[in-house]
Amino acid sequence: MKNLVVVLGSLIVAFAFNFFLVPHEILSSGISGIAILLGILTPFDTGIYNFLLNVPLLILGYFKLGRAIVVNTLVCVFSLSLFLFLLPVIAITDNMLLSTVFGGGIGGLGVGLILKFAGTSGGLDIIAIMISRVSSFSIGLLLTGMNGIIVLISGFVFDWEIALYTMLSIYITGKMIDTVFTDHVKLTMQIVTTEGQAIREELLGSIYRGITITKGYGGYTMEEKYILMMVLTRYETMHVKKIVRKHDPNAFINIYETIEVDGKFSVNN
C-alpha cells in the first residue's frame, strides 16, 4: 500500500512537470529542477537525468541515513524517472502564470504524498537531511538555499522572467507540501512506551537529536512506562515512528507544533 501511494505521488509529480513546467522551461525544486534544465538543453530525456543524478546521492544516503529510508526513496526515484520518460511533454495551456501555479501546486501534492509515506523524495532532500542531523540548520532552510541556486541558474541560462516563474513555482510547491505533509518545520514528539531504552538507543544512533526521558505510570494499568520527548524536523517524524513501532507496536505517540527552539537541537552541537 505504501509503495503504491509513492508510485501514485511520482505519477502526479511527473504529470505536473511534463504538462505544465517543462513546456514553458520552468524549473522545479531540487534535483528534479536540474534534470529539467539538462533535459531542455540536451537531447536526452528529463527522466534519464533524474535517475542518473539521484544514483550517487542514494549511495551516499545508504551509508549515512540507513537502508530503510534509501529503499523507500529508490522506489520514488525509479518511478518518477520512469513516468517522466513515458509521459509526453505537452503544454496544457499557453499561459505561463497558470502553468506555474498549477504545475507547482500539483507537483507539491505529489511530493507531499511521497514524503508522507517514504520520508524523502530523494535528491537534495538526502543532502539536507544529512546536514540537518549534524547542525542546527532546518531542512527547510537548507532546501531554500539550494533551490535559490537553481533559480539563479534559471535566470542565467534562460531569462530572469522565467527565473521569477521558477521561484513562484518552487514557493507554491513548498506550500502544497506543507499542506499535505505537515504545516510546521519543527515538531515536538512525545512517546509513551514500555521499551524506552531500546527505542532511545536506536534513535540516538540514527536521528542525532537530544532526547529527554522521564518515567510515568499508565493511569488505568499503573504499569511503569518511559516518556521520551524530542524536537524533530518534519522530515524525521516518519523515521522515528518506524523505530518506535519496531520496538513497541502499542506505544502512544503525541506530535504537536513547536513555536521556537532555544538550546541544543542536535546532539552534535
171 & 61 share domain? yes
pTM of the model: 0.68
In terms of domains, do 194 and 247 share one?
Answer: yes
Domain stops at, among 133, 154, 180? 180
What confidence tens digit (pLDDT) does each residue in 69-111 have? 677 678 888 888 899 889 999 999 999 999 999 999 999 898 8
Mean pLDDT of 246-266: 81
CA separation for the pair 119, 76 (Å, rounded): 10
224 shares a domain with 166: no
CATH number at residue 222: 3.30.70.120
Per the structure, the complete domain to which residue 69 belongs is given by 2-180
* pLDDT on residue 59: 83
Are 6 and 127 members of one domain? yes
Cα–Cα separations (whole angstroms), residue 190 to 9, 181, 206, 211, 247: 29, 19, 18, 10, 16
Using alpha carbons only, how large is the chain's radius of gyration in Å? 20
Q: How confident is the model at residue 266 (pLDDT cuts 50, 70, 90)?
A: low
Answer yes or no: do 119 and 138 share one domain.
Answer: yes
Per the structure, how many domains does the chain have?
2
